[in-house]
């Protein structure tokens, strides 16, 4: 069933919302009076097409349809989700809501990207206040998982639950803000750091570049994976948070910061900060900086995926959902036609899989084939529960042929055949494709072992039966080209 989102107001945030929904399979209808809106949103979506698929270890769903509309009434037609991202003027937002509610479905969700207004302020003049909720994102919306969901008592619990379900469904992390407050939660931290940074620059203590280095070389990395309180809990050592508070609590009475004061916002201060910022990064265009930012975010969050921690855990949960929706086989019983090669991997090539030549590096072909072997093991019954009982497969021999190249963002599929599986041995053959193009083959011999003795051991009855079923069904296929080749053998 096609899902439709309406984006009211393009810009950086609205464009990010459009990309997030579009690349997760939603149709997206955009209204923005800016004559350059289609170009600007198109550029944001182009960046997202490169970076967002790289967060997932499974392919994103087929992209939805993108359309631009002359009126809000036209844009919201059939929309289940409406995201408002117009400028931060309360009277403008209220006027927009009046128009939206005249034309949208009564059960549509109207989310606001506002960072400054409380939901009760937005609901003030609305005909259906229960329909409006704050859903405050972070830039770039198509990569950053956090969404602050701020309802009021006028929003029914079932509506708030649906909001969180939809946001989770497009790979985001909805943080339910239980009490409305100016600037919600995260922006209050940002405001505190911003105020202190302005003082440090104004007083000549640090430049904009030095402040940025202090964050990205220090506490910014810790905060990215552990947040504030867990970071300080660890800093307290074995005695934990109480020890940390006892040790550093008295410092709260010292005049270390100027968080309650704001430096006078003069032209001189603006020129000072703007000049330092230009000297720091003026040699790059904004689009270049966006691409650098996106690549860095993808690389960091992919590292957290391997630990199944923080934003990485959110991405792993989204991958599992995408795999299930795409019908990726998880057990032998789910194989629709065992006589055909089994699709064991479907994913995009991420930024950290590239080499200095700009295509997928050698080791990542093995990575993809190893993932395919792991999926096959799961399918035949050698899953984590089985491995916990003491049985598994070890790879004894591998032969990879590199046939063609593939690049960033390309969707690759691995098709897997079982050439032999009996006794203690499994012989598999993988073919990697991008569309119809064969990229590589991987041939592997695996030995079933006892993890207790670390020696070869017979399969379980379930694994033996599943391997027999697949082998017999696939035996009718022609022998795969390249099977049994040795290194350097001419074709």
Q: Write a three-state SS string for 41-58.
A: HHHHHHHHHHHHHHHCCC
d(CA 342, CA 414): 8
Q: What pLDDT digit, counting tens, does each position of 40-49 carry?
A: 999 999 999 9
Per-residue pLDDT, 128: 96
Per-residue pLDDT, 239: 82
Per-residue pLDDT, 41: 96
Q: In the numeric block, which tokens belong to residue 91? A: 């009277």
Residue 13 annotated as lining a ligand binding site:
yes
Q: What pLDDT digit, counting tens, does each position of 96-147 carry?
A: 999 999 999 999 999 999 999 999 999 998 999 999 999 999 999 999 999 9
Per-residue pLDDT, 235: 82
3-state secondary structure of 305: helix
Q: Calculate helix-pair angle for 186-202, 267-281, nearest 10 degrees.
A: 100
Question: Is residue 442 a contact partner of residue 430, using CB atoms and an 8 Å limit?
Answer: yes
Per-residue pLDDT, 69: 97
Per-residue pLDDT, 153: 96
Spell out the per-residue pLDDT of the chain, length 491, in tens. 679 999 999 899 999 999 999 999 999 999 999 999 999 999 999 999 999 999 999 999 999 999 999 999 999 999 999 999 999 999 999 999 999 999 999 999 999 999 999 999 999 989 999 999 999 999 999 999 999 999 999 999 999 999 999 999 999 999 999 999 999 999 999 999 999 999 999 999 999 999 999 999 999 999 998 888 898 888 888 888 887 778 777 776 776 777 777 788 789 988 998 899 999 888 988 888 898 999 999 999 999 999 999 999 999 999 999 999 988 998 999 999 999 999 999 999 998 899 999 999 999 999 999 999 999 999 999 999 999 999 999 999 999 999 999 999 899 999 999 999 999 999 999 999 999 999 999 999 999 999 999 999 999 999 999 999 999 999 999 999 999 988 888 76
Question: Is residue 408 a contact partner of residue 349, using CB atoms and an 8 Å limit?
Answer: yes
**Residue ranges matching CATH 3.10.129.10 in the chain:** 327-474
3-state secondary structure of 68: strand
CATH class of segment(s) 4-176: alpha beta
Say if domain 327-474 classifies as CATH 3.40.50.970: no
Alpha-carbon distances of 37 from 7, 51, 88, 95, rounded to whole Å? 12, 21, 18, 21
Angle, CA 177 vertex, CA 176 and CA 178 arms, to 5°: 105
Fold that domain 186-283 belongs to in CATH: 1.10.1040
Question: Is residue 60 a contact partner of residue 96, using CB atoms and an 8 Å limit?
Answer: no
d(CA 204, CA 264): 15
Nearest CA among 214, 250, 246 for reference residue 232: 246
**Residue ranges matching CATH 3.40.50.720 in the chain:** 4-176
Longest dimension (CA), the chain: 80
Per-residue pLDDT, 366: 97
Q: In the numeric block, which tokens belong to residue 92? A: 């403008």
Residue 9 annotated as lining a ligand binding site:
yes
Nearest CA among 474, 462, 342, 354 for reference residue 419: 474
Per-residue pLDDT, 47: 93
d(CA 406, CA 490): 23
Per-residue pLDDT, 125: 85
**Residue ranges matching CATH 1.10.1040.10 in the chain:** 186-283
Residue 42 annotated as lining a ligand binding site:
no
Per-residue pLDDT, 74: 96
Per-residue pLDDT, 252: 66
Residue 327 annotated as lining a ligand binding site:
no
End-to-end CA distance of the chain: 47
Residue 204 annotated as lining a ligand binding site:
no
């Amino acid at each position: 069933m096609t899902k439709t989102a309406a984006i009211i107001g393009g810009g950086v945030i609205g464009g990010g919302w459009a990309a997030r929904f579009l690349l997760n399979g939603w149709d997206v209808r955009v209204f923005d009076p800016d004559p350059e809106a289609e170009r600007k949103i198109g550029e944001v979506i182009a960046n997202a097409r490169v970076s967002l698929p790289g967060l997932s270890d499974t392919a994103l769903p087929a992209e939805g349809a993108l359309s631009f509309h002359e009126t809000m009434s036209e844009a919201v037609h059939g929309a289940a989700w409406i995201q408002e991202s117009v400028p931060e003027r309360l009277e403008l937002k209220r006027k927009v809501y009046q128009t939206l509610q005249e034309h949208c479905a009564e059960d549509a969700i109207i989310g606001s990207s506002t960072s400054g207004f409380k939901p009760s302020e937005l609901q003030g003049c609305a005909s259906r206040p229960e329909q409006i909720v704050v859903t405050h994102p972070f830039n770039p919306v198509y990569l950053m998982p956090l969404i602050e969901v701020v309802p009021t008592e006028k929003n029914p619990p079932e509506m708030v639950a649906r909001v969180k379900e939809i946001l989770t469904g497009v790979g985001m992390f909805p943080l339910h803000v239980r009490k409305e407050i100016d600037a919600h939660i995260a922006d209050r931290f940002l405001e505190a750091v911003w105020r202190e940074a302005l003082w440090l620059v104004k007083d000549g203590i640090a430049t904009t570049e030095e402040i940025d280095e202090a964050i990205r070389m220090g506490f910014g990395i810790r905060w990215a994976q552990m947040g504030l309180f867990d970071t300080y809990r660890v800093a307290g050592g074995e005695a934990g948070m109480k020890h940390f508070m006892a040790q550093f609590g008295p410092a709260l009475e010292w005049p270390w910061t100027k968080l309650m004061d704001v430096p006078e916002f003069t032209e001189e201060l603006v020129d000072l900060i703007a000049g330092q910022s230009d000297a720091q990064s003026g040699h790059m265009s904004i689009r270049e900086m966006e691409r650098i930012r996106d690549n860095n975010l993808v690389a960091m969050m992919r590292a957290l995926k391997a630990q199944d921690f923080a934003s990485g855990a959110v991405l792993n949960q989204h991958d599992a959902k995408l795999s299930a929706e795409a019908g990726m086989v998880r057990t032998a019983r789910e194989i629709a036609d065992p006589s055909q090669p089994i699709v064991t991997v479907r994913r995009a090539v991420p930024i950290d899989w590239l080499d200095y030549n700009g295509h997928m590096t050698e080791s990542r072909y093995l990575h993809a084939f190893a993932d395919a072997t792991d999926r096959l093991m799961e399918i035949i019954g050698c899953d984590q529960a089985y491995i916990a009982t003491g049985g598994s497969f070890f790879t004894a021999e591998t032969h990879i042929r590199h046939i063609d190249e593939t690049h960033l963002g390309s969707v690759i599929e691995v098709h897997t055949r079982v050439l032999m599986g009996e006794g203690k041995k499994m012989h598999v053959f993988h073919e990697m494709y991008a569309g119809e193009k064969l990229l590589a083959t991987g041939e592997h011999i695996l030995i079933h072992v006892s993890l207790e003795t670390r020696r070869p051991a017979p399969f379980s009855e379930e694994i033996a039966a599943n391997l027999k079923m697949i082998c017999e069904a696939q035996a009718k296929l022609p022998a795969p080209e390249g099977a049994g080749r040795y290194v350097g053998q001419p074709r």
